[in-house]
Structure 1
């Protein structure tokens, strides 16, 4: 096969529409633009969402909701997942290496979900009241 012999499949391409080329073409005279009006003229356009001076839909509807930009930096870890980390001194880096939190996480909080049996020391990681009590009951401690 040679590059100069490659062609599209039969019926894959159509002739482009030649507008304004006489009455016989079916798209002569006005060229599919209809009669008069802003859209029929050269350079006639209006911005997206414009409704002829009426208050546009995107301005009539109320603003609603909020998306936090810092949500991706916060992460949660369950109590039961702490036993998956091999080291006893657990910090943010240890959780990232264990694959429990995303690489972009900066703030981590342990929540009281599941059970913990081994003693762990948390450094630079926050914990809820219930999680803190469970960690201390297992012989560990939380240093924020």
Structure 2
């Protein structure tokens, strides 16, 4: 086998449909685009959700619920995540960013998922009650 003898398997490649090539082809004259109208024109493209002037589905369906635009979303850090830090170290935003656990913006909250075996000092925005008790039980401190 040589590079000049390589060929795709039979039926793997199919020729593009050639439209507008006369009445004998079955897709001549209007090239399967119909008569006039926007869809027959070159460069036509419908916007996403456009239904030909009919009220689009996303406008027909009712809106439900309430969306609080002032809601603060905290980045969650678990006790399992805190367990990777060395004993006696201070865990603050900078340490969490360097460890790749949080991004730079937004408040941080520690939740009591998992176990903490080392005594660490935690300096974040919020700490759940269960997490606070477990950090103190492990010999650590919580500063908010």
Provide TM-score, normalisation by structure 2: 0.61
Gaps of 5+ in 1: none
Per the alignment, residue 78 of structure 2 pairs with: 77
Per the alignment, residue 141 of structure 2 pairs with: 141
Per the alignment, residue 20 of structure 1 pairs with: 20
SS for the counterpart of 1:131 is helix
**Does 2:123 align with 1:123?**
yes
Gaps of 5+ in 2: none
The count of corresponding residues between Structure 1 and Structure 2 is 135
Q: Deviations over 1:41-82 (max 9, x none)?
A: 43484633333332111222245686x9x85x713222x554
Hey, what's the Cα distance between the residues in 2 that align with 1:136 and 1:10?
68
RMSD: 3.8
SS for the counterpart of 1:109 is strand
Give 1:121 deviation, angstroms.
1.9
SS for the counterpart of 1:130 is helix
The question of whether the paired residues in 2 share the 8 Å contact of 1:111 and 1:131 is answered with yes
Identify the structure with the greater helix proportion.
1
The question of whether the paired residues in 1 share the 8 Å contact of 2:83 and 2:115 is answered with no
Per the alignment, residue 52 of structure 2 pairs with: 52
Per the alignment, residue 42 of structure 1 pairs with: 41
Give 1:31 deviation, angstroms.
2.5
The question of whether the paired residues in 2 share the 8 Å contact of 1:89 and 1:123 is answered with no
Hey, what's the Cα distance between the residues in 1 that align with 2:15 and 2:113?
65
Hey, what's the Cα distance between the residues in 2 that align with 1:119 and 1:30?
78
The question of whether the paired residues in 2 share the 8 Å contact of 1:111 and 1:130 is answered with yes
The question of whether the paired residues in 2 share the 8 Å contact of 1:74 and 1:108 is answered with yes
